[in-house]
Amino acid sequence: MTKAFRNFIRSNLRNSMQITLKHLSSPRKDGHILLLFKNEDFSSTYFTKEEIAFIKSELKADKKFVAVNQYNRMVYLQQMETEKKNSSQRLEMARKSGATQFSRLQAGKLEQITLISTLAPDLVLAYGEGLVLAGYQFLKYRTGKKKEEHAVKTIFIHSKGLTEKEIHQQNILNEAVFKARDLVNEPQSFLNATEFAKQFTLMGKQAGFKVQVLNKAKIKQLKMGGILAVNLGSIQAPTFTIMEWKPKNAINKKPVVLVGKGVVYDTGGMSLKPTPNSMDFMKCDMGGGAAVGGALYAIAKAKLPVHVIALVPATDNRVDGDAYVPGDVITMMSGKTVEVLNTDAEGRLILADALHYAKRYKPELVLEFSTLTGAAAAAIGPMGIVCMGDVPDKTRKELHDAGNHVYERLAEFPFWEEYDEWIKSDIADIKNVGGAYAGAITAGRFLNHFVDYPYMHFDIASPAFNKSNDSYRLKNGTGVGVRLLFEYFKNLSRK
């Protein structure tokens, strides 16, 4: 690759256009209308007698959706069943329904629409969320991007009980999810470890949080042996990004630290991965880093009164003359020695140094996100997030509640110390792979050797990247983790 070409493709990461939600205190009568209602309780003010008769007969025939073409505008009616399900399922149904509505607006090339609803405010907001998130596009590398860009730009919302602030926060969150998706979708040809850190610096400027990037010299000085070992096979330097949001009105005395895996590309190293269904999507191996960076972006931009620090160790994992090999013993930043038996279990090596580094903050809690194991993916697929750890019951409940609310549900695995037997090494303190069973858990137990604080590990190996389309989560990078974290901190701030 020539230098000019490399510079050309390293043009700045640009977000695709984002649909904006706008609060309306009184309903507009002009423009396209979308009525969201339950039972048969739709507002008749927008229709002629004939239209009302038509709508009623459609609803009677059990149609949940009716479109009325009034020539100068479209009026859509969406009936939502709000019974039968629990609140978490209802919200998810609303998001999915919003995503379906996005396709209709897009098919009609509508630029804006007014959403008027008598439903509960949280359902209306979830519907808007699904609609916006379904409108994400990653067109940076498309030469015909102007033509491909979605038409939909603005959704006006009139809903009793839904505040301007809630809509504002939702816009911020949507933007943060888009940023995380952008980062995951960027190929390694643009997003190497240095560029990843640069993007966090940019996000810090935009949202108002502090960013410090440690370069390779500093990483060496700190003796971050895990990061340096993984980086041996790369000609690109590693980075270690420290992001901090510390508002004056923070409600927590000790910070919460987020840690995210930043393997910008994973070949597996000498324990090389096969290409199909494996190495071919390994640009997503920094999904944890994208999640914590995206979350901090939303937290800072929404000015939540919480002191949060995010750490992202980053490198690619490659094959080269000096690459680390199975059998090597490395000394981690903490001083612990690790026998490397598989160079594809690299995430835990770079995370271990970051988790050790986190001790200096005496954190109240550490939440770490990583696309860590195929075992987690095999266990529950993309339906949720595998998590495990040792946190107070109250925190555990708050995390699960947040996960249910945003439908980034948590499947908690056991964290029994007996699993430590399986990562004992013959010649070093521990080894970086366990046996044939419980691979997600032995990975978590490995990381547990480097913490001395309440800690929860989130394995997002499967939900971080979709190989086929899934409603508002779409295909490719999903930005999973951002919504979960924002919800968790938003709830903490309310107390």
* Minimum distance, C-beta of residue 346 to Zn ion, in the bound complex (Å): 5
* Minimum distance, C-beta of residue 428 to Zn ion, in the bound complex (Å): 20
Task: State the alpha helices, DSSP H only, in 186-265.
Answer: 193-207, 216-221, 225-231
Q: What are phi and psi of 56, to 5 degrees?
A: -65, -40
Q: H-helix or E-strand containing 38? A: none
Q: Is 320 helix (H, G, I), strand (E, B) or coil?
A: coil
Binding to Zn ion in span 366-405, by CB under 5 A = none
Give the catalytic positions in this structure: 273, 348
Residue 344 contacts Zn ion per CB under 5 A: yes
Binding to Zn ion in span 26-45, by CB under 5 A = none
For Zn ion, the closer CB: 346 or 459: 346
Residue at shortest CB range from Zn ion: 344
- What is the distance between the alpha carbons of residues 432 and 145, in angstroms, rounded to a whole number? 44
Stretch near Zn ion under the rule CB under 5 A, chosen from 65-73, 108-116, 342-350, 356-364: 342-350
Binding to Zn ion in span 262-281, by CB under 5 A = 266
* Minimum distance, C-beta of residue 280 to Zn ion, in the bound complex (Å): 14
- What is the distance between the alpha carbons of residues 175 and 171, in angstroms, rounded to a whole number? 6
* Minimum distance, C-beta of residue 347 to Zn ion, in the bound complex (Å): 6
* Minimum distance, C-beta of residue 375 to Zn ion, in the bound complex (Å): 12
* Minimum distance, C-beta of residue 423 to Zn ion, in the bound complex (Å): 16
Q: Across the chain, how many H-helices and E-strands are there?
A: 15, 20
Radius of gyration for the chain, computed over Cα atoms and rounded to the nearest angstrom: 24
What single-letter DSSP state applies at residue 145?
Answer: H
* Structure token digits, residue 74: 């479209």
- CB of 196 closer than 8 Å to CB of 286: yes
Binding to Zn ion in span 453-492, by CB under 5 A = none
Stretch near Zn ion under the rule CB under 5 A, chosen from 58-66, 102-110, 336-344, 384-392: 336-344
Binding mask 213-252 for Zn ion (x = CB under 5 A): ----------------------------------------
Q: Is 404 helix (H, G, I), strand (E, B) or coil?
A: helix
Chain-centre distance for alpha carbon 230 = 24
Instruction: Assign residue 389 a region (left: φ > 0; alpha: ψ between -120 and 50; beta: otherwise).
Output: left
Q: What are phi and psi of 67, to 5 degrees?
A: -115, 130
Spatial neighbors of 420 by CB under 8 A, at least 6 apart, are 445
Stretch near Zn ion under the rule CB under 5 A, chosen from 31-39, 232-240, 345-353, 465-473: 345-353
- CB of 303 closer than 8 Å to CB of 247: yes
For Zn ion, the closer CB: 207 or 345: 345
Stretch near Zn ion under the rule CB under 5 A, chosen from 38-46, 346-354, 390-398, 414-422: 346-354
* Structure token digits, residue 201: 């610096």
Binding mask 131-170 for Zn ion (x = CB under 5 A): ----------------------------------------
For Zn ion, the closer CB: 166 or 344: 344
Stretch near Zn ion under the rule CB under 5 A, chosen from 173-181, 191-199, 258-266, 399-407: 258-266
Contact footprint for Zn ion (CB under 5 A): 266, 344, 346
